[in-house]
Amino acid sequence: MPTTDAPWAGDACSLVDAFRRGERSPVEELDATLAAVAGSSLNAWSYLDEETARDTASAADVSLPFGGVPLGVKELDHVAGWPFTQASVPLKDEVSAYDDTKVARLRGAGAVLVGLTTASEFGGVNLTRTRLNGITRNPWQADRTPGGSSGGTAAAVAGGQVTLGTAGDGGGSIRIPAGFTGMVGLKVTYGRIPKGPHHEVGSLTAVPGCISRSVRDTARWLDVSNGHDSRDPLSLPRVDGWEEGLGSSIDALRGMRVAVIPTFGGAVVAPDVVAVVEDLAEWLTDHLALRRHDVDVRIPSMGTAWSLAGLIAEFASLGDRWPACEDELTPEIRHGMRFAEGRYGIPARIRLEQRRTELFEAMAGLFDEVDLVVCATNPDVAFPAEGPLPDTFGGLESTAANNGKLTIPGNIYGNPGISIPAGDVGGLPVGVQVMARHHAEALLLDVALAVERERPWPLVAPGAPS
């Protein structure tokens, strides 16, 4: 384990254990975290609250689930008194008046909130590069992106600065950066973690979550953050025992039907990435006795409809600042808003709901036939940090819209999916996505746990503090 002058190189659960044994103190860990952030060129943070964090660390109750653990908070989340810029220059002076429900629950679990990790503007792009904060870099190779929109959290966790951070997934924004940085990224069933207070329903695709180094960290995160909140009427009842139950369903996986579809959703996927998916799928079928099942599935393309529906929130956030502020926006958001103008009306809404229903039917039909789906998380390894979104994947041509094809269907349908570190191509991590029916997160955690036990992955990127 690391010395006290470097951040903890294990997972959050083992850090709490070290606190409880008296081998390390929350203040020592915070000092190490702040020093690592100050010396880093990853640009993973947009705001630090050192004074408050130090006060919290000094008074930390290490008997709590995350007692004393430094935590990064994605800058699209609300923390009372902290900036709420949504990574957008026109909103640079906005300040949040309240904590998100999950943030309040993490405080209650003893976490030390260090600051805000960078995100893509409004969470709308799967790389983290904005006019407000600049370029966030992947700790595996600094010229590559950590993905987005939760890119700062992924960079900070994989880069050895904090063991854990908040994230959110509206079109892949947990799974995509987790895949690019070799971390664990679980998108839960829609409603599993509440989104209040002041919850706006929006396009019914985004779920809160975390990016972590280990399966048990994600399970403990669920224990802390899940459960109905009256300010989010669509949130689900509380389920206990996520961490305690880890491994309990591994035997139940035996004989389950799995569809291995590396190019799920019609995505174009680099051949080297397909090979990693197939390798892990073969391991899963052998070691978990899954039954591979061929299916004929056609998932309707929802990229444009998903984008249009999501952009309405951006119009609402910018208000009368638009269109005068368009030159202050990142190119992708500016282009998207111009594209949406005049296109999102009654006919477009009707078509969107028709396509959503088609996708529901296709996904339901798929899970009538199989229990699990294994596919790529991303169509290729991480692309250049400055962008733009690529349109070629392992030499195969497509369009920029291909970048979210593997993940968006799960957001629209609302079922859970997890990105599991599975290997590398050219020294860059490859994540494999496993999806299941609604409410089956425990199965996904146990699939990931089986892989973690037998095919462990680096908890921090090579070259990060250790």
Cβ partners under 8 Å of residue 306, min gap 6:
171, 203, 205, 404, 408, 411, 412
Instruction: Assign 4 a pLDDT band (cuts: 50, 70, 90).
Output: low
pLDDT at 148 over 60: yes
pLDDT recorded at residue 338: 94
For 390-427, write each residue's pLDDT tens digit. Answer: 999 999 999 999 999 999 999 999 999 999 999 999 99
Q: Using an 8 Å Cβ cutoff, are 431 and 192 in contact?
A: no
The predicted model gives 158-168 an average pLDDT of: 98
For 419, phi then psi, to 5°, come to -95, 125
Give the model's confidence band at 11: pLDDT under 50 very low, under 70 low, under 90 confident, else very high. very high
Burial environment of residue 298 by CB neighbours within 10 A (0 to 12, 13 to 18, 19 or more): exposed
pTM: 0.97
pLDDT at 349: 87
Q: Where are the domains of the chain?
A: 12-303+344-454, 304-340
For the stretch 12-35, pLDDT in tens is: 999 999 999 999 999 999 999 999
Domain topology for 12-303+344-454: Amidase signature (AS) enzymes (3.90.1300)
pLDDT score, position 466? 45
pLDDT of residue 310: 85
pLDDT band at 142 (very low <50, low <70, confident <90, very high): very high
Sign for the pseudo-dihedral over CA of 120, 13, 193, 106: negative
pLDDT for the residue numbered 291: 96
Q: Quick one: average pLDDT of 149-176?
A: 98
User: What is the percent of the chain with per-residue pLDDT over 90, rounded to a whole number?
Assistant: 91
Percent of the chain whose pLDDT exceeds 70 = 99
pLDDT over threshold 60, residue 100:
yes
Give the integer Cα–Cα distance in Å for 117 and 155: 9
Mean pLDDT of the chain: 96
Nearest-angstrom CA–CA distance, 75 and 153: 9
Catalytic residues: 74, 149, 173
Residue 1 has pLDDT above 60, yes or no: no
**Per-residue pLDDT, 344:** 84
pLDDT at 465 over 70: no
Instruction: Give the pLDDT score at 2.
Output: 44
| pLDDT tens-digit map of 253-305 | 999 999 999 999 999 999 999 999 999 999 999 999 999 999 988 998 887 88
Mean pLDDT value across residues 157-175 = 98
Opening angle at CA 378, ends 275 and 286, nearest 5: 40
